[in-house]
């Protein structure tokens, strides 16, 4: 089994319900077990600012899936939630799942880069990741706690 961290986000429809449903879908993936759910965070949009706030979280899983098979499974969960990938980046979405990190895996190809190359810039990823794994060392980026200390968390709020 390999430990992996998945970012979850939604800002359309029942965003909270979409994220909670995605946690359940992660736990149903073959050869995969959901180990932990982060708290939910309400975060301002990133990239395209003229859109609703996001609900964001991170899940920690154990899996025997390869990185690319896990990526394909995440894309399938997104499609099942109504996500249409139309080429627009950072816009509104029913569900967004990003493979952030797999223990012991450093990878960069035309489909996937691990660890995710923009973790260090994104409070909406670092806040929930820090809630679970502040000491996690992301190869080439640093420790989660140090990365979080360097980003602006204004407008981000942990939800009950």
Task: Report the C-alpha gap between 143 and 139 in whole angstroms.
Answer: 9
Give residue-wise pLDDT tens across range 1-37.
Answer: 999 999 999 999 999 999 999 999 999 999 999 999 9
Has this prediction a pTM greater than 0.85?
yes
Q: State the pLDDT at residue 49.
A: 84
Q: State the pLDDT at residue 21.
A: 97
Backbone phi, psi, residue 133, to 5°: -145, 65
Give residue-wise pLDDT tens across range 58-100.
Answer: 999 999 999 999 999 999 999 999 887 766 677 788 999 999 9
* Close Cβ partners of 24 (under 8 Å, ≥ 6 residues apart): none
Give residue-wise pLDDT tens across range 92-151.
Answer: 889 999 999 999 999 999 999 999 999 999 999 999 999 999 999 999 999 999 999 999
Residues 124 and 156: beta-carbon distance below 8 Å = yes
Q: State the pLDDT at residue 83.
A: 80
Tally the residues of the chain. 160
Residues 90 and 48: beta-carbon distance below 8 Å = yes
Q: State the pLDDT at residue 45.
A: 92
Catalytic residue numbers, as ranges: 83, 93, 96, 98
Residues 124 and 56: beta-carbon distance below 8 Å = yes
Under DSSP, the state recorded for 12 is: S
The residue ranges of every structural domain in the chain are: 2-158
Tell me the CA distances in angstroms from 98 to 72, 77, 149, one per residue in order: 11, 11, 22
Q: State the pLDDT at residue 48.
A: 82
Both tokens of residue 26? 């992660």
Question: Between 2.40.110.20, 3.90.25.10, 3.30.70.560, 3.40.50.261, what CATH number should domain 2-158 receive?
Answer: 3.30.70.560
């Amino acid at each position: 089994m390999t430990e992996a961290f998945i970012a979850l986000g939604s800002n359309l429809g029942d965003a909270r319900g979409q994220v909670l449903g995605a946690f359940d879908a992660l736990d149903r993936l073959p050869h995969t077990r959901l180990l932990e759910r982060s708290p939910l965070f309400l975060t301002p949009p990133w990239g395209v600012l003229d859109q609703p706030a996001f609900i964001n979280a991170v899940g920690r899983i154990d899996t025997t899936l390869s990185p690319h098979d896990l990526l394909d499974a995440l894309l399938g969960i997104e499609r099942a939630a109504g996500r249409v990938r139309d080429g627009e980046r950072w816009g509104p979405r029913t569900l967004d799942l990003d493979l952030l990190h797999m223990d012991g895996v450093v990878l960069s190809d035309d489909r996937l880069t691990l660890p995710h190359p923009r973790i260090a810039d994104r409070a909406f990823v670092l806040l929930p990741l820090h809630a679970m794994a502040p000491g996690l060392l992301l190869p080439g980026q640093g420790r989660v706690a140090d990365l979080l200390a360097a980003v602006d968390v204004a407008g981000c709020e942990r939800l009950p």
